Chains A and B, each alone.
Chain A
Amino acid sequence: MAEKYIARSTEIAARMLGGEMMIMSAQDSTFFTLNEVATVIWQAADGCTPLSEIVRGKICQEFEVDAEQAQRGAERFVDELSQHGILLVSERPLIDSSDPEIS
């Protein structure tokens, strides 16, 4: 399967509140609240780290989950957010990605 590179869109507003990451699409106003695992993926979405490496290096390390299961969950999460334009996905590194304001 082809590798995936993910980057945060600049067309979003995001904020961490009470330990949860809230993300709102500035395009269609869709609102997401991310759990801890999703937040780790979101924060690691720098456009140049492969998704599989994020899963292996962060998710499996921090949450002690099976790599295959974690990869499937991460793929689903990435697909959902990419459908709303919140995450940008590519088979090549997204070198032009830039950080949205996260506080």
Chain B
Amino acid sequence: MSVMPTAVAAESVSVEIGGIGLALHVQDSSFRRMVENRYSGFVASSQAPQCEFDIELYDAGEPVPADDQLEVKLEAGEWLLRRGDFRARWNPRTMRGHIRQSCNPYAIDSVLRIVHSLILAQRGGFLVHAASVIRGGKAFIFSGVSGAGKTTISRLAPADAAFLSDEVSYVRRDGNQYFACGTPFAGELARAGENQCAPLSDLFFLEKGPRNSIEPIAPTDAIQRLMRNILFFANDPELVKLVFQFACEFASVVPMHRLVFVPDERVWDIIC
């Protein structure tokens, strides 16, 4: 008797972020439950994921290499991802991959971030260190280094705003339009974003200051700041060139500004 598709599906969990579904095939049911809980708002019912991974869990007793530095490189057409707690490979042509990891949520979280950043880089989008929200049908991104105020601006958002992330924002390109999408990648708020997307209206570079104001920024300065905050996992020159090109194209479409703000909710009066 042939193996029924439902038997395969029962050993899989699909996580969909930014409209891109990643099916994770793993035998260990407790690991699947962990993934379902951690990414609860993003677990997809889609039967047609765009990307698939077989996950092999290694014994917790197995020694983990002391060097836990992340390495991401392209080798013979496959991306190789390696850190102390995981080794993964992913073929961007077949969209299939394999992950060997310890049974911890951080490893799969890192793999998801890296794979999404690589998929987005093929499509003109990127992951960026930024908070993002949707209000009035439009998305707003607030970028900055640690301490710039990403979590603060998220916390101050009006009640009618949908929270997308306070740490890693997801920018997807569709034709000549950009969208910001929610991610489950939590920052200080320890709160997953809502699984929503909206057309991107503006990107702000956050600066705490004595007053609330939106200041212009030179295009070259904006691109330089944006490049600093885009998540690069791979030390790959071709990828750097590609992301730079996409950042320039993004800058020609999406207005970018400096947002100087005092940490109270009135800042939202000048945003939207």
Contact = CB atoms under 8 A, between A and B. Distances in A.
Most buried by A among B218, B220, B241, B245: B220
Given A18-B218, A29-B232, A13 B223 contact: no
Given A15-B245, A15-B248, A31-B227, A26 B240 contact: yes
Contacts of A18: 218-220
The dominant DSSP class at the A interface is: strand
A18 B216 CA distance: 14
Interface string A32-44: 0100000000000
Size range of the chain A interface in the assembly = 10 to 19
A17 B224 CA distance: 12
A66 to B, nearest CB: 28
Contacts of B224: 22, 31, 33
Contact of A17 (B227, B232, B238, B251): B251
Contacts of B219: 17-18, 20
A33 B218 CA distance: 11
A101 B43 CA distance: 41
A45 to B, nearest CB: 18
Nearest to B224: A31
Contacts of A15: 244-245, 248
Nearest to B243: A13
Given A18-B219, A18-B220, A26 B241 contact: yes
A101 B244 CA distance: 12
B237 interface: yes
Contacts of A24: 227, 240, 244
A74 to B, nearest CB: 22
A13 B223 CA distance: 13
Interface in B224-238: 224, 227, 232, 237-238
Nearest to B251: A17
A13 B244 contact: yes
B238 A20 contact: no
Given A24-B227, A31-B227, A13 B240 contact: yes
A69 interface: no
A68 interface: no
B240 A29 contact: yes
A26 B227 contact: no
A17 B240 contact: no
B220 A17 contact: yes
Contacts of B241: 12-13, 26, 101
Nearest to B238: A26
Nearest to A10: B237
Contact of B220 (A12, A22, A29): A22
A35 to B, nearest CB: 11
A80 interface: no
Contacts of B248: 15, 17, 22
Interface of B: 218-220, 223-224, 227, 232, 237-238, 240-241, 244-245, 248, 251
Given A13-B240, A22-B248, A101-B241, 16 more contacts: A13-B241, A15-B244, A17-B223, A18-B220, A20-B219, A20-B220, A22-B223, A24-B227, A24-B240, A26-B237, A26-B240, A26-B244, A29-B232, A29-B240, A33-B220, A101-B245
28 contacts: A11-B237, A12-B241, A13-B240, A13-B244, A15-B245, A15-B248, A17-B219, A17-B220, A17-B248, A18-B219, A18-B220, A20-B219, A20-B220, A22-B223, A22-B224, A24-B240, A24-B244, A26-B237, A26-B238, A26-B241, A26-B244, A29-B232, A29-B240, A31-B224, A33-B220, A33-B224, A101-B241, A101-B245
